[in-house]
Structure formats: C-alpha cells, structure tokens
Amino acid sequence: MRPRFFSLPSAQLANEAWLARGDGSSGPRLAIIGVGMMGREHLRVALLLGRMRIQGVYDDHAESLDQAQREYRKSTQMTLNVYPSFEALCADEAVDAYLIATPNFTHSAIFERLIKSGKPIFLEKPMATTLLDAQRMVTLAKAHPAFVQLGMQYRFKAQYIEAFHAIKVQQALGTVHTVAMSEYRPPFLNKVGEWNKFSHYSGGTLVEKCCHYFDLINLAVDAYPVKVYAQGGQAVNFIDFEHRGLSADIDDHAFVTVTYDNGMLAHFTLNMFCQELYEELVITGDQGRLVASESSSFRRGVNSSAKIQIEASAHPAYDGMTVTYPSAIENSGHCGATFFEHLAFLAQLEGDVVDAATPAQGLKSLLVASAAQRSLATGQVVFMDEFCAQEQVSWPC
C-alpha cells in the first residue's frame, strides 16, 4: 500500500492506512530529538502505525523524558532507549532516520548537525525562526542525498485532503480566484521553557502557528505572493505574562491579505482568545465554492468533527458531508493529520513521491508569514520583492 493523499478521498485513504499498520517489530529505525508535547505525539503515532522502530530519543528536560518513557512502556512494555547526549544520538549508526521536534529556535542548529549524516530527516514546523536560517537549510537540503520532510501536517487533515482532491484532481471549482482561511482557538498552551510566548524563540505567532495556514493557502493558489498586508496584535493573551524577566510579546489576533501574481486573492483570519477551536477554508472558483471546516476542543473527551461542502454542479458533497477520520486515527493527534504525515514519511523512506511539505515549501510559508509579521509591525503593505531583497532571501523556485 502506498499513500497517495490528494489523489484519494479521505475515507478511502483512512481505510487503506488503517489496514497497513504493522506490529512495530520491523521497519526503519527512528531517532527522535525532543520529546515534549509534539515529540511524544510523534512517538505515539509511530507506535500506533507500527511500521517504524524507535531506536532512541534525546531531550535535555527530565520531565519530558519521564513522560515519554511512561508512555512508551505503557504501550510496548519495553524500555525506551534514551541517549545520554545529542552527540551520542548522532553517533548511533543504526539510526535510519531522524525526527526533530524541539522548539523552533533550536531547529536550524540541530538540522545542520544531522544533515551531515546523509540520512532522511523529518523536521517540525516552522523550519526556522529566521529567513536566513531557513534559506540556508533549503540549500543544504537540496544537496542532501536523502529527503527532508517538514511538519506541515495540516495538509493531511481530512477536510483539506478533500479540498485539495476537489481543486487539484477533480478541478471541481474551475479556475480558483479567492481563498479565505481562518482559525479561531484558545491561547497558546504551556511549553517547556515557555518558548512560544516570545517572538525571539518562536518566530512570532504568524510564523509559529500560522505557517500551517500560509502553507495551505500557498498550496491552493500555487503562485507568487506579490504583496502582503496585515493588521492585528496582542489584545488579550499573556498581557502580564513574564518569564525570566522577559515580557511575552506574541500576537493573538490578525487579519492578513495576500495578493498573488496570478491575480488570486487570499485572506487569513486569526483569533486566539476563543474557548474552542474552529478552522475554516473557503475556496471560490468560477464554477463553484468549497467550505472545508473543523471543530475541535482542548477539552478531554470531545471529538473533533471535519466537514466539506462543495457547491459545484452535481457534486456529491454539494449539501455538505462529514469527513472526520475514524476515531482511532482522529484521536491520535491533530485530528488524525499526524498519522498521515507519518505514512507520508514512510512512503518517502520507500522512495515514493508524496504530498508532504518540502523545505522549499516550508520557506515559502515562512516568507508569507514573515512578510505578514513585518506588515503587522509597520502598518505598511509589504511588497515581496522588496522584502526578499531586504532580508537577502529568494522566493524558492
């Protein structure tokens, strides 16, 4: 079974993926760097899929390691191999692939060390906190004999698989003209060292969180973003929050407009002072409109719900349909998207071409996010040509 992602409807993809699970006794050996919230989600998903072996993990925070050890033991009745140092992890020749799930500001240094191995790398989003680092990483990845996959797994949420299937495979909307994406959610969660409360460590909210959405928009539009305008700021969250003498400086709401060189317009809305999570993507073409949405919650026991509505002549989803993954997949993390991200990684390890994010696509999402961040700070429209020249980076081909 080879995952084909956007070429299949999400239900078929989920059936095939579930049947292809293994028992964890064979497969490539994975080493995980960083076992905080996201690293442990990757550990759980790898165990659920059972098609990779966990060769070992490295983290410098005892509590994260204890939690990872507990979860691993509970699931496998075995002891998780913990490397005593990052260098010990790098020296383990039995590792087949690396997964980096450390805070954003650490990505570039860890990536640049691991890429020397010549082995495949999975790197969490955003790839870096500065554009110069990200561009250097793209260059390194180009010369790398193995692949690098970025953690932009929202692509694999059921409703977006359906959306990309509709616009790219079925061409159900004709020529697309507008894309509107929104996210409403509660504030950022606690992190080890509170790195996500400070732009210096996270890259800023539009980079840290919203690179996912700029990736989805870029994918739908597939063109060069000529100008970006953003309004927003920090209105409610972490206003009085301090950590080690630093005041939190992260935005909690924004409206961003992007004009692409093919005439397409995109809009992104962010609001992070809500009780529940709601995401929506609306794409409109000359032959129809689609609405892909997801409702989810940080409350325990509340399942997410994903829907797609495709108002295009005689489309089976014209009146809308629920496309939520089966609960075992949906509950495994990020509404099931991480599960498919691992399948994509496995497929790449087997030499397949998949719809996972590349370093170049990671840089593109970072460029739009950073231009929006700049526009927020200055109140001015940011022209991408000028912005790239100032930042000494190029829009990747």
Q: How many CB atoms lie within 10 A of CB 22?
A: 13
Question: In the range 303-342, which residues lie near ligand NAD by CB under 6 A?
Answer: 334
- Of the candidates 24, 42, 44, the one whose C-alpha atom is nearest the C-alpha of residue 328 is 44
Least Å distance, CB 65 to ligand NAD, is: 8
Two structure tokens written together for 325: 């993954």
Least Å distance, CB 135 to ligand NAD, is: 18
Two structure tokens written together for 284: 């409109």
Which position among 59, 133, 183, 294 is part of the footprint of ligand NAD (CB under 6 A)? 59
Cβ closest to ligand NAD, residue 36 vs residue 288: 36
Least Å distance, CB 394 to ligand NAD, is: 24
Convert residues 99-128 into a mask of x (bound to ligand NAD by CB under 6 A) and - (unbound): --xxxx-x-----------------xx---
What letter would DSSP give residue 90? H
Which position among 55, 135, 153, 365 is part of the footprint of ligand NAD (CB under 6 A)? 153
Q: How many CB atoms lie within 10 A of CB 396?
A: 17
The one segment of 17-25, 35-43, 77-85, 179-187 that binds ligand NAD by CB under 6 A: 35-43
Amino acid at site 169: V
- Of the candidates 120, 124, 110, the one whose C-alpha atom is nearest the C-alpha of residue 144 is 120
The one segment of 54-62, 257-265, 319-327, 380-388 that binds ligand NAD by CB under 6 A: 54-62
Size of the site for ligand NAD (CB under 6 A): 26
CA–CA separation, 237 and 49 (whole Å): 37
Cβ closest to ligand NAD, residue 33 vs residue 291: 33
Two structure tokens written together for 350: 């087997």
3-state DSSP assignment of residue 236: coil
Please report the DSSP string for 94-142 in residue order.
T--EEEE-S-GGGHHHHHHHHGGGT--EEEPSSS-SSHHHHHHHHHHHH
Q: Is 39 in the site for ligand NAD (CB under 6 A)?
A: yes
Which position among 2, 15, 61, 85 is part of the footprint of ligand NAD (CB under 6 A)? 61
Cβ closest to ligand NAD, residue 35 vs residue 346: 35
Which position among 24, 36, 204, 362 is part of the footprint of ligand NAD (CB under 6 A)? 36
Least Å distance, CB 36 to ligand NAD, is: 2
Q: For 5-126, where are the alpha helices, taking DSSP H only?
A: 10-19, 37-49, 62-76, 86-91, 107-114
Convert residues 189-228 into a mask of x (bound to ligand NAD by CB under 6 A) and - (unbound): --xx---------------x--------------------
CA–CA separation, 231 and 377 (whole Å): 9
Q: Treating both helix axes as pointing N-terminal to C-terminal, what angle do 384-391 and 359-378 enclose, rounded to 10 degrees?
A: 100
Q: What angle do CA 65, 103, 397 make, to 5 degrees?
A: 135
Cβ closest to ligand NAD, residue 24 vs residue 34: 34
Query: Which residues are near ligand NAD by CB under 6 A?
Result: 33-39, 58-61, 64, 86, 101-104, 106, 124-125, 151, 153, 191-192, 208, 334
